[in-house]
């Protein structure tokens, strides 16, 4: 009551209240608030819209076409001939078309890659041929500025209908192709012999592959891949072979560098096997196989019947528990030391027997997640010919274990579903039998955005706007006037870290490329290649050490939609990444490097040297988190408070000194008297 008794104090108080109310208003708040407004709010999956991808198009590949370290997309129009590149614009938060051209024939697949080894992404088009039983291969070289040299496209030796895969067979880090030619029943290698300094230089030379006596009739479609499977950080070759009828088998060819490849394992695949995906499912430092099986598949709808999810675990040398353990006992390698993860295990093994006693194989029905009237969509019949739909694997919650993205189908309704990887427990699918550590559970909370999509035809993981989370891209049939693509922002909050990595193809020295006339300089940031491998060890908050493995772009066939970079969650950790091993396909004595103490929440760019003995270039790009401004404010405020305290203490000290001086001046020296 006393506060309002004085008129002067009352007016002063009203003035202060008015000022506070103005600052608290929307306009005033926006004026002085130093942090940008969040684009997405809410702890859930949030629809981000089409982000500029409109019209009747289909996204067929990802790549960094302009070298700005932002993910761009490659699309194909409904005529299956018109190819367009859309570059991501960070400030506008949208894709903008940058180049387009029309191919003369119907396109089956498009593979971005630096085939001419100049530090820019070219486009390899696999298309329909005038000759029966073969597929035309055409390369559109990139131009120095932007776009592609459509007028001087390179016509390559044709392939049979099963799509060839990129592989570095001779260790020069140039992209070769492995497949089958129309004139041979055996495997063939399209070896890259391009020489930019030679006019009219051919790109490929057809020859026998370094897979001696290989007998594999490549399946169409297939899940062939280039990835390290024996643990030496050197990419091996995984093939899916057609054995006649509905029978399929697999072959694993181990990379021996200059000695070529040797057949390490082969065996039958379960009946009804669909497309195969690869990832380290149980975070033990080895690449596993994940695929679906169905008793039958409708050719008209692409929906499978009685479908199962299968996981074939890769048994290899385990991680040593101690950093001082050499891993060798009685002359035999028994485990991998944390500082030497790239040790080959010649006894690695896949066992695909459906046996309760087989701990290397897990099989569980899709009906354990979905209602009985729903099944699995395994073929995209909206494309001609139909495309296989694989189980998409990605660590969406950054816990270090890949999750599964699939499409459920019932009638004409096709809805994306997300399966979380969870620790094994009671009634967790994939945990039957002892010894297994991970299973899967259907995401049901805050996923209404996914549940609201009823016309999905393809799903994939990607990091939208490079913000450190795995988002989701859903391609739709566009029924009811909907757009062809919708992006789903992964806005869940996870108390965990991530790491992104990309190995370039060694096209330019010191990470700088120059145009042929030397007038333009650019960085080859977009030219990743299939076959790079990553292995790392990390400590969790309890001090437990674990290892994990990730492959770079292992699959490119049949619109696999793999990102050029590798993304892996680290889980909760209060430390740096102990060891990050980065392996390439170069045929040097040391084909990998070990990076110690890598900072989490960053992107690592590796520029390997093709020449023996030269150092590799490594660049680390940190991504400032949303908490950085708050840390800055906390530091500034804390510093100001400490400064005020020091100032007050200094004043008190000066006052005490002055009082002491005055007392001393009035002191009488009785001895002097």
Span 181-204, pLDDT tens digits: 998 889 999 999 999 888 889 999
Does residue 587 have a pLDDT over 90? yes
Where is the domain boundary, 503, 526, 560? 503
Q: Are 209 and 191 within 8 A, CB to CB?
A: no
The per-residue pLDDT for range 549-566, each reduced to its tens digit, is 999 999 999 999 999 999
- Cβ neighbors of 358 (< 8 A, separation 6 or more) are 351
- Looking at the 3D structure of the chain, how many domains does it have? 2
Same domain, 536 and 404: no
Q: Is 282 found in the same domain as 165?
A: yes
Q: Is the dihedral of CA 308, 314, 315, 317 positive or negative?
A: negative
Q: Three-state SS for 655?
A: helix
Q: Can you give the pLDDT at residue 30?
A: 45
* Secondary structure of residue 139 in the 3-state scheme: strand
| DSSP code per residue over 583-622 | E----SS--EEEEEEEPSSEEEEEE--SSTTPPPEEEEEE
Cβ atoms < 10 Å from Cβ of 20 = 11
The pLDDT of residue 42: 87
Domain span at 543 = 513-626
Q: What is the CATH number of the domain that holds 103?
A: 2.130.10.10
Helix (H, G, I), strand (E, B) or coil at 219: coil
- Read off the pLDDT band of 128 (50, 70, 90): very high
Same domain, 494 and 536: no
Residue 436, pLDDT score: 85
Sheet holding 187-192, edge to edge: 165-167, 176-180, 187-192, 204-207
- Does residue 16 surpass a pLDDT of 60? no
CB contact at 8 A, 588 and 600: no
Q: What is the pLDDT of residue 434?
A: 65
Query: What pLDDT is attached to residue 68?
Result: 92
Q: Write out pLDDT tens, residues 494-508.
A: 889 999 999 999 998
Inform me whether the pLDDT recorded for 2 exceeds 50.
no
Q: Is 289 exposed, middle or buried (0-12, 13-18, 19+ CB in 10 A)?
A: buried
Give the residue, 569 or 9, on which the prediction is more confident.
569
User: Could you tell me if 563 and 418 lie in one domain?
Assistant: no
Give the pLDDT confidence score for residue 632 in this predicted structure: 83
Q: Taking residues 207-224, what's their average pLDDT?
A: 95
Q: Is residue 491 part of a domain?
A: yes
What are the counts of helices (DSSP H) followed by strands (DSSP E) for the chain?
Answer: 4, 47
Residue at a domain's end among 459, 479, 503: 503
pLDDT, position 117: 93
Q: In whole angstroms, how far apart are CA 17 and each of 11, 30, 548?
A: 10, 19, 58
Distance CA 493, CA 404 (A): 19
Q: Would you say residue 525 lies in a domain?
A: yes
User: Is the pLDDT at 480 greater than 80, yes or no?
Assistant: no
Is 659 a member of any domain? no
Whole-angstrom distance, CA of residue 34 vs CA of residue 635: 15
Query: Do the beta carbons of residue 70 and residue 563 sit within 8 Å?
Result: no
Residue 642 in domain? no
CB 86 within 8 A of CB 94: no
pLDDT at position 39 is 85
DSSP state of 3: G
- Angle (CA) 539-543-545 rounded to 5° is 45
Cα R_g (the chain), whole angstroms: 30
Q: CA angle 417-423-425, nearest 5°? A: 100
Biggest CA pair distance of the chain: 128
Q: What is the DSSP letter of 169?
A: S
Domain assignment present for 321 = yes
Distance CA 13, CA 243 (A): 88
Residue 356 is predicted with a pLDDT of 86
The values of phi and psi at residue 343, to 5°, are -105, 125
Residue 440, number of CB atoms within 10 A of its CB: 24
pTM for the full predicted model: 0.89
> What pLDDT is recorded for position 306?
96
The pLDDT score that the predictor gives to residue 14 is: 40
Tell me the CA end-to-end span of the chain in Å, nearest whole number.
63
Q: Are residues 519 and 545 in the same domain?
A: yes
Closest C-alpha among 98, 103, 104, 102 to residue 120: 98
Q: Are residues 369 and 468 both part of a single domain?
A: yes
- 39 DSSP 8-state letter: S
209 and 115 fall within a common domain: yes
Q: Nearest 5°: CA angle at 659, between 657 and 660?
A: 65
pLDDT tens, residue by residue, 653-669: 999 988 888 888 776 65
What value, to the nearest 5°, has the Cα angle with vertex 178 and ends 352 and 383? 80
Q: Which of 492, 400, 390, 470 has its CA nearest to residue 437?
A: 400
For the chain, the average pLDDT equals 90
Measured between alpha carbons, how far is 386 from 299 in angstroms, rounded to an integer? 9
- Model pLDDT, residue 483: 86
In a domain, 657, yes or no: no
Regarding whether 347 and 218 lie in a shared domain, the answer is yes
* Domain contains 14: no
Q: Are residues 244 and 262 in the same domain?
A: yes
Give the pLDDT of residue 669.
57
The Cα 231–Cα 316 span in angstroms is: 8
Percentage of the residues of the chain whose pLDDT score is greater than 70:
92
Check whether residue 281 and residue 344 sit in a common domain: yes
The Cα–Cα gap between 265 and 280 comes to 19
**Gap between the Cα atoms of 503 and 534, Å rounded:** 10
**Lowest mean pLDDT: which of 44-53, 257-266, 316-325, 388-397?**
316-325
Q: Kindly give the pairing relationship between strand 497-503 and strand 513-514.
A: unpaired
Name the domain boundary from 503, 521, 549.
503
Q: Do 440 and 586 share a domain, yes or no?
A: no
Give 592's contacts (C-beta < 8 A, 6+ positions apart). 233, 234, 342, 533, 581, 582, 583, 584
Task: Please tell me the predicted confidence (pLDDT) of residue 378.
Answer: 97
> Degrees (nearest 5) of the Cα angle 634, 637, 642?
120
Residues 413 and 476 reside in one and the same domain: yes
Q: Is residue 644 part of a domain?
A: no
Cα gap 41→56, rounded to integer Å: 30
């Amino acid at each position: 009551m006393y506060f309002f008794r004085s008129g002067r104090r009352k007016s002063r108080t009203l003035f202060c209240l008015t000022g506070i109310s103005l600052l608290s208003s929307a306009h005033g708040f926006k004026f002085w608030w130093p942090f940008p407004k969040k684009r997405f709010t809410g702890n859930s999956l949030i629809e981000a819209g089409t982000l500029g991808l409109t019209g009747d198009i289909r996204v067929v590949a990802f790549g960094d076409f302009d070298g700005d370290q932002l993910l761009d997309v490659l699309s194909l129009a409904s005529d299956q001939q018109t190819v367009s590149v859309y570059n991501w614009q960070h400030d506008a938060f949208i894709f903008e078309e940058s180049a387009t051209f029309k191919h003369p024939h119907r396109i089956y697949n498009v593979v971005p890659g630096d085939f001419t080894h100049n530090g820019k992404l070219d486009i390899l088009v696999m298309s329909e041929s005038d000759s029966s039983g073969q597929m035309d291969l055409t390369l559109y070289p990139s131009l120095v500025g932007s776009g592609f040299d459509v007028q001087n496209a390179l016509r390559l030796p044709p392939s049979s209908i099963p799509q060839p895969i990129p592989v570095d067979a001779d260790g020069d880090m140039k992209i070769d192709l492995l497949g089958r030619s129309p004139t041979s029943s055996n495997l063939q290698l399209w070896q890259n012999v391009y020489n930019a300094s030679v006019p009219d230089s051919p790109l490929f030379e057809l020859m026998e592959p370094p897979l001696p006596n290989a007998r594999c009739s490549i399946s169409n479609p297939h899940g062939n891949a280039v990835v390290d499977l024996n643990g030496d950080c050197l990419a091996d070759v995984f093939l899916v072979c057609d054995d006649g009828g509905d029978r399929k088998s697999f072959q694993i060819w181990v990379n021996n560098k200059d000695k070529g490849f040797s057949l390490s394992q082969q065996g039958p695949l379960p009946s009804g096997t669909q497309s195969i995906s690869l990832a380290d499912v149980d975070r033990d430092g080895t690449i596993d196989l994940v695929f679906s099986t169905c008793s039958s598949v409708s050719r008209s709808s692409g929906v499978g019947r009685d479908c199962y999810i299968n996981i074939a675990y890769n048994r290899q040398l385990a991680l040593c528990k101690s950093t001082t353990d050499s891993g060798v006992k009685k002359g035999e390698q028994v485990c991998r030391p944390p500082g030497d993860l790239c040790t080959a295990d010649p006894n690695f093994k896949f066992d695909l027997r459906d046996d309760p006693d087989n701990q290397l194989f897990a099989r569980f029905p899709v009906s354990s997640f979905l209602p009985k009237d729903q099944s699995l969509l395994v073929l995209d019949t909206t494309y001609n010919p139909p495309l296989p739909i694989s189980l998409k694997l990605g660590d969406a919650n950054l816990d270090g274990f890949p999750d599964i993205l699939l499409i459920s189908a019932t009638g004409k309704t096709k809805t994306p579903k997300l399966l979380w990887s969870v620790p094994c427990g009671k009634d967790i699918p994939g945990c039957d039998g002892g010894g297994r550590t991970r299973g899967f559970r259907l995401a049901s909370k805050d996923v209404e955005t996914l549940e609201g999509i009823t016309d999905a035809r393809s799903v994939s993981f990607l990091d939208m706007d490079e913000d450190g989370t795995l988002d989701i891209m859903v391609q739709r049939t566009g029924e009811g006037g909907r757009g062809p693509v919708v992006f789903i922002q992964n806005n869940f909050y996870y108390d965990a870290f991530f790491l992104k990595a990309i190995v370039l193809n060694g096209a330019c020295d010191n990470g700088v490329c120059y145009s042929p006339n030397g007038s333009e300089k650019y960085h080859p940031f977009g030219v990743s290649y299939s076959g790079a491998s990553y292995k790392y060890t990390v400590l969790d908050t309890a001090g437990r050490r674990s290892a994990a493995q990730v492959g770079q772009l292992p699959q490119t066939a049949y619109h696999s939609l793999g990102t050029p970079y590798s993304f892996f969650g680290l889980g909760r950790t209060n430390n740096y990444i102990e060891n990050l091993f980065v392996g390439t396909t170069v045929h040097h004595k040391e084909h990998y490097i070990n990076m110690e103490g890598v900072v989490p929440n960053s992107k690592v760019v590796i520029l390997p040297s093709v020449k023996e003995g030269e150092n590799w270039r490594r660049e680390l790009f940190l991504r400032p988190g949303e908490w950085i401004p708050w840390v800055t404010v906390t530091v500034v405020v804390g510093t100001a408070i400490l400064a005020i305290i020091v100032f007050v203490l200094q004043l008190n000290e000066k006052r005490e000194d002055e009082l002491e001086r005055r007392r001393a001046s009035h002191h009488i020296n009785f001895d002097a008297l």
